Amino acid sequence: MANSAVTMEKLVSLCKARGIVFPGSEIYGGMGNTWDYGPVGVEIKNNIKRAWWKRFVFESDNSYGVDAAILMNARVWEASGHTTSFSDPKMDCKTCKTRHRADNLIEAHSKGTVDTDLLTNEQMQEYIEAHHVCCPVCGNFNWTPIRTFNLMFETSRGVTDESQNKIYLRPETAQGEFVNFMNVQRTTRAKVPFGIAQIGKAFRNEITPGNFIFRTIEFEQMEHQWFCREGTDEEFYQEYKKRAMQFLLDLGFKAEHLRFHDHEKLAHYAKEACDIQYLYPMGWQELNGIHNRTDYDLTRHQEYSGKSLTYLDPVTGEKFIPYVIEYSIGADRLMLAVLSEAYEEETLEGGDVRSVLHFHPAIAAYKAAVLPLQKNLAPQAKALLAKLKKHFSVTYDEAGSIGKRYRRQDEIGTPYCITIDFDTLEDGTVTVRDRDTMSQIRLSMDELPTFLMEKCAF
Ligand code: ATP
């Protein structure tokens, strides 16, 4: 297990109790596999997205962002192949009426020794029959045949019932980058190789959603498409594998909790593909994907739209359709990994146990909590809070003993607690307590912005 203290139950209950993630539509009894981010969770998730954007847009050479529409012309999904082949092999248990993915059933039965990427639907059916793979819910062997099931959510657009056209909620953000290839190239005057990045919602009618925010029907993707010349693609694919891994290591993941998994069976568009897997509480699972998509996407969009997506190299005068190296990571899936990696139940001297989230300070919802030692120090504490708020997201707590207040901040991963006491009135200094070591130092209030800026930089 990634972290011996953490279980999915503990994470779900911590998230609910501390305003990180709530079940979706909870007062109506919920809506399966939808989740709402609470006051602390929205900050953590935004910080994850910010750190990613900083690394892959601001700090990347020749990379540009877009924010494309979720609803796209339906022809986009014909060109991308999603209308015909974005599907999973599903089986229904006729006894308990639950729905399952045939590939997942085989993976669980074979304890991961069978690579279902290499099997056709017929071969999966044969495996399930030959090994008498039973329903994991009711234990019966009473399956419907494998059927494929398109994962795109459909909706319709039109002003009258008769004129309604079928459109889709995008199942991935990537197509928004591809259809804007020329717009971005022209307006930025970028030369190939260059990148287009996007963070946005995607929707999939998953057959087996679950494991909290790991697999949901609505989620956010952070994607970076690198457009390059054929022949340089292999080098850039290797580079993106390294960059993707380095980003996770810099966020504080332990190297032994991450691994590459190369795909043997490739998607119709891919020349090479791999995942980075993380050791989640439920085992090794995909955290992100890196794909060499060749010139498939731009070629198809050129064909289906009738618009040229051919790049003219200004130096050599050559015309070509660029290859694409795609790096894609789910913001929610990364957040689950971040929480799981950070969680610790630490036994303190004297036997007390504290729960703490040790994540990178840049990810923390609040960079600091301002705590007056006693309530009558509240005016001074609030004045400091107002000053710090100009620079950072900070919180305030005056309820309960100082020890209890530290514990509450530890649970949501606030890296620094700043205590205002009676010495503050004399000399303008405060106590700064470190979340991880619990050690305390004395700093002047004037030094705090620089101190926090340096400690919380990513
Ligand atoms: P999986 O095999 O787990 O279904 P995938 O290979 O279909 O994932 P991609 O299409 O490559 O995933 O999507 C890129 C990333 O988007 C994934 O690595 C993951 O982080 C995230 N992602 C995909 N589907 C979901 C989902 N249903 N819920 C949350 N995140 C998802």
Q: Going by CA atoms, what residue is nearest to atom 25 of ligand 1?
A: 215
pLDDT tens, position by position, 205-255: 998 889 999 999 999 999 999 999 999 999 999 999 999 999 999 999 999
Q: Going by CA atoms, what residue is nearest to atom 16 of ligand 1?
A: 330
Q: What pLDDT, on a 0 to 100 scale, did the predictor assign at position 1? A: 44
Compute the distance from residue 287 Cα to the ligand 1 centre, in Å: 8
The C-alpha atoms of residue 20 and residue 272 are separated, in whole angstroms, by 37
Compute the distance from residue 330 Cα to the ligand 1 centre, in Å: 6
Report how far apart the first and last C-alpha atoms of the chain are (Å, whole number): 27
Place of tokens 């017929």: 122
Q: What pLDDT, on a 0 to 100 scale, did the predictor assign at position 345? A: 95
Q: What are the structural domains of the chain?
A: 8-65+172-341 (3.30.930.10), 87-150 (3.30.40.230), 366-455 (3.40.50.800)
Q: Which of 101, 215, 240 to mutate to test the pocket of ligand 1 (most atoms within 8 A of CB)?
A: 215
Q: Which atom of ligand 1 is nearest to the CA of 206?
A: 27
Compute the distance from residue 166 Cα to the ligand 1 centre, in Å: 24
Q: Going by CA atoms, what residue is nearest to atom 3 of ligand 1?
A: 286
Q: Which of 152, 333, 338 to mutate to test the pocket of ligand 1 (most atoms within 8 A of CB)?
A: 333
Q: Which of 258, 328, 334, 338 to mutate to test the pocket of ligand 1 (most atoms within 8 A of CB)?
A: 328
Q: What pLDDT, on a 0 to 100 scale, did the predictor assign at position 161? A: 74
The C-alpha atoms of residue 30 and residue 35 are separated, in whole angstroms, by 9
pLDDT tens, position by position, 2-30: 556 689 999 999 999 999 999 999 999 99
Q: Going by CA atoms, what residue is nearest to atom 13 of ligand 1?
A: 328
Q: Going by CA atoms, what residue is nearest to atom 1 of ligand 1?
A: 286
Q: What pLDDT, on a 0 to 100 scale, did the predictor assign at position 95? A: 95
Compute the distance from residue 289 Cα to the ligand 1 centre, in Å: 8
Q: pLDDT truncated to tens, each residue of the chain (458 aa)?
A: 455 668 999 999 999 999 999 999 999 999 999 999 999 999 999 999 999 999 999 999 999 999 999 999 999 999 999 998 888 889 999 999 999 999 999 989 998 888 887 888 899 999 999 999 999 999 999 999 999 888 999 999 987 777 778 999 999 999 999 999 999 999 999 999 999 999 999 999 998 889 999 999 999 999 999 999 999 999 999 999 999 999 999 999 999 999 999 998 787 788 999 999 999 999 999 999 999 999 999 999 999 999 999 999 999 999 999 999 999 999 999 999 999 999 999 999 889 999 999 999 999 999 999 999 999 999 999 999 999 999 999 999 999 999 999 999 999 999 999 999 999 999 999 999 999 999 999 999 999 999 999 999 99
Residues with CB under 6 A from ligand 1: 172, 204, 206, 215-216, 219, 221, 286-289, 328-330, 332-333
pTM of the complete model beyond 0.75: yes
Q: Going by CA atoms, what residue is nearest to atom 10 of ligand 1?
A: 172
Compute the distance from residue 173 Cα to the ligand 1 centre, in Å: 11
Q: Going by CA atoms, what residue is nearest to atom 4 of ligand 1?
A: 215
Q: Which atom of ligand 1 is nearest to the CA of 223?
A: 14
Compute the distance from residue 286 Cα to the ligand 1 centre, in Å: 8
